[in-house]
Chain A
Amino acid sequence: MARIVGMEISAACSEAVTLADADVIAAYPITPQTHIVEHLSEQVADGRLDAEYINVESEHSAMSCCIGAAAAGARTFTATAAQGLALMSEMLYIASGMRLPIVMALVTRTLSAPLSIWGDQSDIMSVRDCGWIVLFAENGQEVYDMTLQAFRIAEDERVIFPVMVCLDGFHLSHVIEPVEILDRAEIAPFLPPYKPKYRLDPHNVLTMGAFAMPEYFSEIKKRQDEELVSSYHVILEVWREWEERFGRHYEPLNPYRVDDAEVVVVIAGTFAGTARVAVDRLREKGIKAGLASLKLWRPFPRDDIKRLFARRRVLTVVDRALSVGGAGGPVANELRAAFYHEDGRPWVASFVAGLSGRDILAEDFVEMVERSLEYAKKGEFPPYEMYGVRE
């Protein structure tokens, strides 16, 4: 029976991997991901999880091992953060290009330099185009649920893509919260044992990772893009089933008080929680504010965005990543692009905040919303604003 346990969110992630009965885990410890892999190695050592735990010498090797294991038909998991993700980025493209349903927890953290171990989302944004499905969790329960959902989505024969579950470093990974934990009997019908459609098998030979001449490459990439985009429908289907079975609702853009909102805060990750508090405060002040918590980053939920934000006046988009030398925050820019051809498109105020673990308080969200409204009054928006930076 499901039971509520107070636990560290990193441990909840590991518990989900154990419940998913992963076959192979290959990981290299890096702050702030360490608790996930430590907990998993204990599970394997204690015999709670019958998996091959591979200690590797780098993240590049971690993802390489995952690629080999997944190609051989194993349910495969890894976790990393920041520089670790950067080091494995070469292999990320190979995992998705070879269509291997690996699941990874990305404990989002700043990319150095300056050297920093604190959290933001510059790591995930640096591999934005790597061809993985990318989910953002807002709280401990979502980390647990999404890790289980990720295996199911990745392995679906209509999908077969690797899936990354992003959880904010420290602000989620190191927090203790109540999490509803499921048992094997409950998860079994949702996540049956993995039966790969294709795998390396000496009795049924095939070649994976073959060379593609220029006359093949574009067609393969086009197919991958089409299939990544249409994995959206499977993700929604999986989320609906999850709600039926376990009662928790998921959608690509989780809305809060959006119905009559004139200004909507958009943010991915755990600060959406604080933003909800800010929305209530703004409402008390008479400002019709709302929030959309972005849960699905890839495939980009273009239709949901258009539906939810059509006829809104102002969006306050808060990115925890900076596109250095670019034209604004990464999420803000994709929202702008989505609306480029639409009549009555909303103003997009792009704020970069919460870099390298700097907190974003409810009052900060209030101020960003108020500033967005001022910009709207003037009819002029800067490309982006780095919120709270000392002038």
Chain B
Amino acid sequence: MIEVRMHGRGGQGVVASAEMLAVSAIRDGKYAQAFPSFGPERRGAPVVAFCRVDDHTIITREPISVPDVVVVLDPTVLRAVQATAGLKPGGKLVVNTCLRPEELARDLGVGGCTVATVDANRIALQFIGQAITNTAMLGALLKVEPVASLEVLYGLLRERFPAVADMNIQALQAAYDETSVAEFVMGDIVMGDKRKKLVTDLPTWRTIDHACIVFEPGSSVQYYTGDWRSMRPDWNSEKCVKCGKCWMYCPEAAINVDEHRDYKVDYDYCKGCGICAEECPYGVIVMVEECE
């Protein structure tokens, strides 16, 4: 059995790509299963989807905690979640990034697995015109782990999305061709995120509040809304007239004013909505891709 876990953000087609993978495998005569991680859905929030493929009936309903392959559709989720958690030794990590496999492995501090990278954002923008990377990342995945055949997947795309199938197939094929793969024998698959609470830190039924009352005011600072971001506001401070409109409109109160009345974004909380860029009367703020 091959177990694939996909990470991305709400609205990027993470769940749809797990589903297309499973349907293609089923059409190939295999047994497959795809499902999302369940919970409230919100555009931009980290999303996980799972896909299992086997020659035999799959009966388990567990989420995939020890995947053979991890696919990361959006490089910014690497900041928000521990995407490599549980990845099997010698497993495969497939990431949408402009970095080379060696650079990414060094940045993340991972080893003991295969790392494949492709700049799916650029490919998607080139062929589809939007940074929707799910089909491109399916190409990258199939390069390292051929759980379904390209022809069947293309057929499925034509059936499902006749109007946009061709551009998606081109993106998928380009990603398949361009994906660079490197194997790292040494090291461990580790990637820490200090901000994530461990299960052992959580209260027990004896210590938890009796009615889920939150006593601490302003506890929303513990929630990093910056983890949702896929576009980032860039400041050209020289043009800023310090009018404060961006500060006023930011829905996350992520723009702070310092003692020189300079306006600065707190990227831990900026969710990348772009309202500040829209509202700034002097074009000080421009939204750029997270990767740039």
Contact = CB atoms under 8 A, between A and B. Distances in A.
A219 B204 contact: yes
- Main DSSP-derived SS at the B contact region: loop
A216 interface: yes
B205 A226 contact: yes
B211 A208 contact: yes
Contacts of B215: 206
Given A215-B199, A215-B202, A223 B214 contact: no
30 contacts: A98-B211, A98-B212, A99-B210, A99-B211, A160-B210, A160-B211, A198-B213, A205-B217, A206-B213, A206-B214, A206-B215, A207-B214, A208-B211, A208-B213, A210-B213, A215-B199, A215-B202, A216-B202, A219-B203, A219-B204, A219-B205, A220-B205, A220-B211, A220-B212, A223-B206, A223-B208, A223-B210, A224-B210, A226-B205, A227-B210
B84 to A, nearest CB: 21
Nearest to B204: A219
Interface in B193-210: 199, 202-206, 208-210
Interface string A143-177: 00000000000000000100000000000000000
Given A219-B204, A223-B205, A210 B210 contact: no
A274 to B, nearest CB: 41
Nearest to A97: B211
A99 B211 CA distance: 6
Interface in B201-245: 202-206, 208-215, 217
Given A219-B202, A220-B210, 15 more contacts: A97-B212, A99-B210, A160-B211, A198-B211, A198-B213, A205-B217, A206-B214, A206-B215, A208-B211, A209-B212, A210-B212, A216-B202, A216-B212, A219-B205, A223-B210
Interface in A109-139: none
Given A219-B203, A219-B204, A219-B205, A212 B210 contact: no
Nearest to A207: B214
Interface of B: 199, 202-206, 208-215, 217
A205 B219 CA distance: 12
For the complex of A and B, list the 10 residue pairs with the smallest distance between their C-beta atoms, beginning with the closest. Answer: A99-B211, A207-B214, A222-B205, A219-B205, A223-B205, A219-B208, A205-B217, A210-B214, A206-B215, A210-B212
Interface size bucket, A side?
20 to 34
B199 A212 contact: no
A207 B202 contact: no
B284 to A, nearest CB: 35
Interface of A: 97-99, 160, 198, 205-210, 212, 215-216, 218-220, 222-224, 226-227
Contacts of A198: 211, 213
Contacts of B210: 99, 160, 220, 223-224, 227
Nearest to A98: B211
B196 to A, nearest CB: 12
Nearest to B38: A214
B85 to A, nearest CB: 15
Nearest to A226: B205
A159 to B, nearest CB: 10
Contacts of A207: 213-214
A227 B211 CA distance: 11
From B204, B210, B211, B217, residue with most partner A Cβ within 10 Å: B211
Contacts of A98: 211-212
Contacts of A205: 217
A331 B138 CA distance: 57
Nearest to B197: A215
Contacts of A210: 212-214
Contacts of A220: 205, 208-212
Contacts of B211: 97-99, 160, 198, 208, 220
Nearest to B208: A219
Contacts of B213: 198, 206-208, 210
Nearest to A222: B205
Contacts of B214: 206-207, 210
A299 to B, nearest CB: 16
Contacts of B208: 216, 219-220, 223
A226 B204 CA distance: 13
Contacts of A219: 202-205, 208
A323 to B, nearest CB: 30
B206 to A, nearest CB: 7
A93 B96 CA distance: 45
Nearest to A218: B205
Contacts of B203: 216, 219
A97 B213 CA distance: 11
A334 B157 CA distance: 56
A210 B212 CA distance: 6
A212 B212 contact: yes
A205 B206 CA distance: 23
A216 B206 CA distance: 12
A207 B205 CA distance: 19
Contacts of A223: 205-206, 208, 210
A19 B222 CA distance: 46
